[in-house]
Amino acid sequence: MAPGVCETDVESAALTWLSELGWQVKYGPEIAPDGLFAELRLRDALLPKLIRGEIRVKDAERFLMERGL
């Protein structure tokens, strides 16, 4: 098998990067839509806007804090 990048490497790098930016990394079942921390959908909606530069990180953080997330 030829060496390359695998999904686990990409996921680990992304989680490390987001953690360094101040995001709290949680285990999947903790943030399931029907779980105790059901913020996944909201964060999923915000992330593409952050990536495209449509909103600033500080604005997204304020928005989440106002909603207790």
Residue 37 has a pLDDT of 60
Residue 20 has a pLDDT of 92
Question: Are 58 and 65 within 8 A, CB to CB?
Answer: no
pTM: 0.42
pLDDT tens sequence across 22-67: 888 877 777 666 665 666 677 778 888 898 999 998 988 888 788 7
**DSSP structure class, residue 28:** G
- Pick the more confident residue, 24 or 20: 20
CA atoms within 13 A on the CB side of 26: 15
Question: Are 3 and 9 within 8 A, CB to CB?
Answer: no
